[in-house]
Amino acid sequence: MERGLSLLIAAVMLFVAPGVQAADNFSFATNATVNITNTGCGKTKLCIQTPDNCDPAGNSSCFFASVAAGNTTAPNGTELMFQLSGNSTGYIALGLTANATQGTTALYICAQNSSNNASFFFAARQRDNINNTLSTFNATVTKIRGQVVNGTIQCEFSVPNLNATNTRSADSTTYVVILGSGTFNGNDFGTFTTSKTTDPLNLANVANPTTASPTTTKNSASGALHSHALTVLLTVLTLFILKTA
């Protein structure tokens, strides 16, 4: 019993220790075909684009993103399904944050690797909103699909169990959304350059997404999943202790 308790304490210390990173958990859709348009904007999905009201279908100068809410699993959070389209020789990215000028942003990156026949790939990074540096973080992303056609990168992906209430006092699906891009040299991502930053939006409310500014800012990249992951860890280790007692 004492040995099991020691393992539990050690594991919790490892989980909350700063700088400890787990591997990304990505899963890909079996069909890689992507067809992104502005059809359904304001009705079935919330759209963010620059220039305003542009249609990414056949328009390489349209930087476009959309989001639709999926299933909500209490108390973990809500699945959000994203589309992203833009022109870049490196990467395009969609960021979720509580405040674009402080804290961090969770960046979901769709990119092309010019050193590998401009092949599509997906990544996630945490952006420091003060100095704009990028670092890895533990991200779970599913249903990823993407393509690169004549320099235009398009992708779709889902992020399960997003819960903004773990990072601040606000609706669980309220985030500031940032669109931007950068370079990729075959090994590293270059500086993220912002193209558009929204006000705080309730991403699950397509008809009326605008919401009040959040009152508290914490780590947006890791906070959304931190509470649920810790609960799962404690449950597994508790069962282990009971079994070995």
The pLDDT tens digits of the residues spanning 110-160 come to 999 988 888 999 999 999 999 999 999 989 999 999 999 999 999 999 999
Strands (DSSP E) contained in 56-210 are 63-73, 77-87, 91-97, 104-113, 119-128, 134-135, 140-149, 152-162, 174-182, 193-197, 201-202
Q: Sketch the domain layout of the chain as residue ranges.
A: 22-221
How large is the average pLDDT for residues 67-87? 90
Residue 4, Ramachandran bin (φ over 0: left; ψ between -120 and 50: alpha; else beta) = alpha
The pLDDT tens digits of the residues spanning 169-205 come to 456 899 999 999 999 998 899 999 999 999 999 999 9
How large is the average pLDDT for residues 8-20? 30
The pLDDT tens digits of the residues spanning 150-166 come to 999 999 999 998 887 66
The pLDDT tens digits of the residues spanning 203-223 come to 999 988 886 544 444 454 544
Cα atoms in the Cβ-side hemisphere of radius 13 Å centred on 23: 3
10 Å CB burial of residue 83 (0-12, 13-18, 19+) is buried
Give the residue carrying structure tokens 């003060």: 130
Q: How many CB atoms lie within 10 A of CB 188?
A: 8
10 Å CB burial of residue 153 (0-12, 13-18, 19+) is buried
CATH code given to domain 22-221: 2.60.40
